[in-house]
Amino acid sequence: MKRTKEQKEQKLILSNKDKPLLKRMYKYRYMYFMYLPVFLIFLVFNYIPMVGILISFTKYTPFTKVPQWVGLQNFKQLFVSDIFWRSVKNTLIISSVNIVLSITTCVGLALLIDEIKTVWFRKVVQSILYIPHFISWVVVASIFTMILSPQEGFINGILQAFGQDPIYFLADSDWWRVCLWIIERWKGIGWGTIIYIAALTAVDGALHEAATIDGANRVQRIWHITLPSIAPTILVVFIMDIAKILNIFEPVWVLQNDAVLAVSDVIGTYVYRIGITNAQYGVSAAAGLFKSVISVVLVTIVNNASRKIKGEGILS
């Protein structure tokens, strides 16, 4: 009986798996050799520092020679703090909206850029859109503080020209998050399109041609062909964004001020204040560990949901 191609491949995989690990490693030694630097980098910079998790169970200040084991004391201190829970709530609100805005605006812009057929113009547009990504957050904050200034800012100038009172956007609790989201999009939208533009180049042109012949208009083609084609990419980006949902720090830190702490204090700024400014490394590490655990849980939930709905996820 003649074996099919699939059966042959299956046998090859099984036969490889049957071999002892050392033999397999020897066989693929060059592969392992190439992987070694990556492994070492991960080991040194990602895994060994994880020992620092233990700090969250100790009383640890800059002057501590031997950290004193305090069990869950730091977590207890954290969980009874209203300010900590406020920061958790703010983090979830700011980041969730940010993720939704990020995906919708980046996909939308990528679709628009994909429609540009003149190559040089497309490149110019892309280059201009990427520039804000390379500006540091400190500079971005300075620029927008000037633009949004209630005294001489451009936006308030327009409002006043229409007879409106100036708004102190960055010190107004109702406006601060909106400003942050807009500024985040201004800075990140161009860079965020890269991965989607790459995905769009892989969409089969024949599908579009066939749909056009069948009478589909541009919106219908985007809805029924383009978006489903790049859905796996959107899913990957979404899951990776979920993993980072609690990590927001820099934009908040540079735009935050006393008047808007109630709506702007996030876990990152809380940890910085407790850990770096206040030098309570134990409590700060506990907050960091809490953040990591929640991130892992969220990623697992989203990945499982994705597998149930779409039949695929990015984690095994």
Contacts of residues 216-221 at CB distance under 8 Å and 24 or more positions apart, as own/partner, are 218/115
Least spacing, CB of residue 284 vs other proteins, in Å: 10
Q: Which is nearer to other proteins, 90 or 193 (CB)?
A: 90
The widest CA-to-CA distance across the chain, in whole angstroms, is 88
Which residue in the set 30, 33, 45, 63 belongs to the binding site for other proteins (CB under 8 A)? 63
Backbone angles phi and psi of 69, in degrees to 5: -70, 125
**Which of 108-116, 165-173, 177-185, 192-200 is the region at the interface with other proteins (rule: CB under 8 A)?**
165-173
Backbone angles phi and psi of 59, in degrees to 5: -90, 110
Least spacing, CB of residue 55 vs other proteins, in Å: 10
170 part of the interface to other proteins, by CB under 8 A: yes
285 part of the interface to other proteins, by CB under 8 A: no
Site string for other proteins, 228-257 (x = CB under 8 A): -----------------------------x
Which residue in the set 108, 143, 155, 168 belongs to the binding site for other proteins (CB under 8 A)? 168
Those residues with Cβ within 8 angstroms of residue 134's Cβ, 6 or more apart along the chain or in another chain: none
145 part of the interface to other proteins, by CB under 8 A: yes
281 part of the interface to other proteins, by CB under 8 A: yes
Least spacing, CB of residue 309 vs other proteins, in Å: 41
**Contact between residue 74 and residue 283 where contact means Cβ atoms under 8 Å apart:** yes
Q: Tokens 């949902």 label which residue? A: 245
The 3-state DSSP class for residue 303 equals helix
Task: Tokens for 162, please give them.
Answer: 């229409």
Task: List, in sequence order, every residue forming a beta bridge with 68; answer none if it has no partner.
Answer: 59
Least spacing, CB of residue 200 vs other proteins, in Å: 41
**Which of 23-31, 100-108, 259-267, 296-304 is the region at the interface with other proteins (rule: CB under 8 A)?**
259-267
Q: Report d(CA 205, CA 210) in Å as an integer.
A: 9
Enclosing H/E stretch for 211: helix 205-213
Which of 134, 126, 156 has its CA nearest to residue 144?
Answer: 156
Which residue in the set 12, 34, 36, 83 belongs to the binding site for other proteins (CB under 8 A)? 83
Which of 251, 95, 126, 266 has its CA nearest to residue 184?
Answer: 251
Q: Tokens 């800012």 label which residue? A: 153
**Which of 8-16, 26-34, 126-134, 280-288 is the region at the interface with other proteins (rule: CB under 8 A)?**
280-288
Which residue in the set 18, 82, 165, 214 belongs to the binding site for other proteins (CB under 8 A)? 82
73 part of the interface to other proteins, by CB under 8 A: no
Those residues with Cβ within 8 angstroms of residue 54's Cβ, 6 or more apart along the chain or in another chain: 67
Number of residues that bind other proteins (CB under 8 A): 33
**Which of 105-113, 233-241, 275-283, 288-296 is the region at the interface with other proteins (rule: CB under 8 A)?**
275-283
104 part of the interface to other proteins, by CB under 8 A: no
**Contact between residue 269 and residue 94 where contact means Cβ atoms under 8 Å apart:** no
280 part of the interface to other proteins, by CB under 8 A: yes
Between the two ends of the chain, the Cα-to-Cα distance in Å is 35
Query: Can you give the C-alpha Rg of the chain in angstroms?
Result: 25
Which residues make up the interface to other proteins (CB under 8 A)? 60-64, 77, 81-83, 145, 149-151, 166, 168, 170-171, 173, 257-259, 261-262, 265, 273-274, 276-281, 283
